[in-house]
Amino acid sequence: MPTQCKPLSFAFQGCRRRRVTAAFDGGSITSNAGALLLREIDRFVGLFDRVAACFKDHRDPRLTEHSVRTLVAQRITGIALGYEDLNDHDDLRHDPLLALLAGRLEGRRKGCAALAGKSTLNRLEHAPPGGEPGRYHRIDHDPDALQAELVELFIDLWEGKPPSRLVLDIDSTDDEVHGRQEGRFFHGYYGHYCFLPLYITCGGRPLFAQLRPGNADPAGDVTAPLGRIIERLRQEWPWLKILLRADSAYAREDLLAWCKDNRVDYVIGLARNSRLVKKIGWELADAQAEAVRHGRPARRYTEFLYATRTSWSCRRRVVAKAEHLPGKANPRFVVTSLPAGTFSARTVYERVYCPRGDMENTIKEQQLDLFSDRTSASRFDANQLRILFSAFASILFDVLRRTLVGTRLARATAGTLRLKLLRIGARVSVSVRRVKVAMDSAHPSAAAFEQVHARLRG
């Protein structure tokens, strides 16, 4: 095919006697101008340097084009901008805005892009955890250090006076897979092949993100990560009180006893059974009578001491919600260590336990907006690393939300923030003295962009 010296022009339907044409001759244009904000957030947090410090690079520096820090920054920022697959980076490596993440607009060697393509990033994601580097895997990482960095970032980004009490949410979920990845198993409850990742969060901020095989016990092996997290938090804030919140899968003797031994309060869902329902028979009947009389849901709250027949070692306080909906009863139960004199049954359920729903929204954001469910690599360790990259990307959005306090975007999801503030079209002009990013003059989120910039630079 002969070389086209002039870009091909495309003709379209005219408008009021004016011709409408288009051509790929706009120069250097990006749709990711909001990456400038992510770069400023990293300057404030130091996220990319801290994550890169958990990797070891055994490559020959004389033959290395892209540093580990560049690879980490490119991968996490790509997830934040909505590019979940490594294949996307073969085109993104030429994006002038993302190139700023590397601190340069061109490669060190002639003909090399400032950023890496999918093959180089693939080496990062398939970095083996510890051990000696192999012939084809010259980068390794410390998974424990990456998990610990989530807690360190939580502490360093805490604003205001030291907290007196923190609520830790713990939950597992299904991560459906479609290949033959290591650790995938068929799960009867979910009805498909999956992993069962475990998440621990506080106020929606990630403290732990662990991929687990699909045949794992949903509530198994949780005390070890909980212990490390709580120990570090109490090192920073010695008088800190911890409350653990979880669903009924975690109402186990080993976890409840561990909480008592480690001075951790808990509010944990309790699966309904005939013995529990019998204990609130009068309250259910009263709620049913009111629901029938007024034609709307009615509820009563009560509490009692309860022990399972064999698994619990002692009786524990159980709070019950005796609710009757139109046409059916809806009783709910939670077991708690909170004292009855300070926390009434209604307070325990409505004000302490029910906000646990935010944890489920956090998991949905991780999987849907930040692509932690893109666990398509064949190796289990590679998929674990992808989940951690998504968790670190969520920290960027957490800082972004803080700069938007007082606006309608302060509680927006990562997907909404990406659409409103990050995916902005712009023309990029590079000269000897500056890089000029000319963004859309009529962009609807220009005021929010200005606010974020002012607070990050302030």
| Residues 395, 41: Cα–Cα separation, whole Å | 10
**What are the E-state strand segments in 247-404?**
264-270, 298-306, 316-325, 328-329, 332-336
pLDDT of 93? 86
pLDDT for 52-95, tens place per residue?
999 998 888 888 888 899 999 999 999 999 999 898 998 888 88
What domains, with CATH codes, occur in the chain?
144-369 (3.90.350)
Structure tokens, 312: 């619990």
pLDDT of 42? 94
pLDDT of 131? 64
The SS3 call for residue 426 is strand
pLDDT of 440? 87
Do 456 and 448 touch, CB atoms closer than 8 A? no
Structure tokens, 332: 């709910």
Q: Which of 4, 133, 19, 127 is nearest to 72 (CA)?
A: 127
pLDDT for 86-130, tens place per residue?
989 988 888 888 888 777 777 666 667 888 899 889 888 887 787
DSSP annotation string for 331-351: -EEEEE-S-TTTS-HHIIIII
Q: Which amino acid is at 174?
A: D
The SS3 call for residue 53 is coil
H helices of 65-177, where?
68-81, 89-92, 96-99, 118-125, 143-156
Sequence-ordered list of residues with C-beta below 8 angstroms from that of 109, at least 6 positions apart, any chain: 65
205-210 vs 241-246, strand pairing mode: unpaired
pLDDT of 24? 82
Tell me which residues of the chain have a pLDDT lower than 50.
Answer: 1-2
Residue at token pair 């398939």 = 126
Residue 53 to residues 69, 75, 226, 229, 319: CA-CA distances in angstroms?
A: 8, 15, 24, 20, 46
pLDDT of 450? 93
pTM: 0.92
pLDDT of 107? 63
